[in-house]
Amino acid sequence: MNEPSRTTERSPVPALLGICTVTLILAAMYWAQTVFAPICFALLIIAMVWPLQRALQTRVPQLVALLVCLAGTIVVMTIFTVLLGWSLNRVGLYVLSDTARFQSMYNDLAAWLEGHGVAVSGLWEQHFNVSWILRIVQQVTGRLNSTLTFSLVVLIYVMLGLLEVGDVGRKLRRFKAGSIGQAFLIGSGETGAKLRRYMLVRTLMSIMTGVLVWGLTYSAGLSLSAEWGVIAFALNYIPVIGPLFATVLPTLFAIAQFETWQAAVLIFVLLNLIQFLVGSYLEPRIAGKSLSISPVMVLFAVFFGTFLWGIAGAFIGVPIVIAIVTICAHHESSRWIADILGAGQADPADANRG
């Protein structure tokens, strides 16, 4: 007499615990962004700098190597900030010096909108006044202060982290093969290599984008061509959102300067062509498949990162997803996360049939 087959059902408790854990982590990242955002930026910088410090430590004492790496990090951050601040300041001064033209542009747009049933006659008087300007100045000042504080906290985390990388690695090597500790150790090493490649490719593509935007705006006779090139270079580090602003802003200035929609449309099309060729054609071929994650996840990472931490989250969102995908791929219990978030791989059988 055959025994009845028993059907085993998996308990939903682990899945529910996982969902609750992820929800609590995301809530903590949102409400405690002053803690988690600097840590994430510091980890990204440590991944960039650690190979250099490790090489220097074989020739000079650890503290000397640390000071060299910190000095290099400060120099790079300062140059980037100064260039972006210079370009934005120049654009702001240009707007203030040519207020009449932008006012006329606004009046024409308001008249066109009112002719199509959109009333905006009181918008300028209601919002664009002296108190509004004072609020903007206060917000900009507050942003600068918070940025300086944020950078200082990041540098402190980087300094402490670089001192502890070796000890953390030795502790993780004590875990058995196949354990979570070993998966984290191997995944962290691969994550660092991927992030270095990601930032290198992103930097090269940003430089290329900035040069092309400068060449286009200079050839077209658009004012502030060097500034538009620097802005395009800086904003290209933020996927999706950055290139969008880098094309819209020069287009608005082209409308005000050339006073013809045809010239502005042509500049807008050419700027988008540059962004498409560099971002969608050249970058994937240079980066290769090692950094490939789902395009939907790239878009989600940028917008969700913006929701969590603002511009800082938009910048760091994609590196965080790269780290999650890489580390999760090295343990059996979390490999499904890497399969979902990563870019789909073609099935060899399907390729042979094709």
Q: What is the 3-state secondary structure (H, E, C) of 256-323?
A: HHHCCHHHHHHHHHHHHHHHHHHHHHHHHHHHCHHHCECHHHHHHHHHHHHHHHCHHHHHHHHHHHHH
pLDDT at 228 over 90: yes
Question: Partners of 293 in the beta sheet?
Answer: 342
Tokens for 50, please give them.
């650690």
The pLDDT value given to residue 353: 41
Region 65-88 average pLDDT: 90
> How do the domains of the chain map onto residue ranges?
34-116+131-344
In this structure, how many other beta carbons lie within 10 angstroms of the beta carbon of residue 150? Answer: 15
The per-residue pLDDT for range 96-140, each reduced to its tens digit, is 776 666 666 667 666 766 666 666 555 555 555 445 555 655 565
Residue 291's pLDDT is what? 62
Neighbours of 14 (CB within 10 A): 10
For residues 230 and 81, the answer to whether their CB atoms sit within 8 Å is no
43 token code pair: 């980890």
- The pLDDT assigned to 127 comes to 55
> What is residue 348's predicted lDDT score, i.e. its pLDDT?
39
Query: Residue 42: exposed, middle, or buried by beta-carbon count in 10 A (0-12, 13-18, 19+)?
Result: buried
Q: Per-residue pLDDT averaged across 211-239, rounded?
A: 91
What residue has token string 């343990």?
331
Rounded to two decimals, the pTM is 0.79
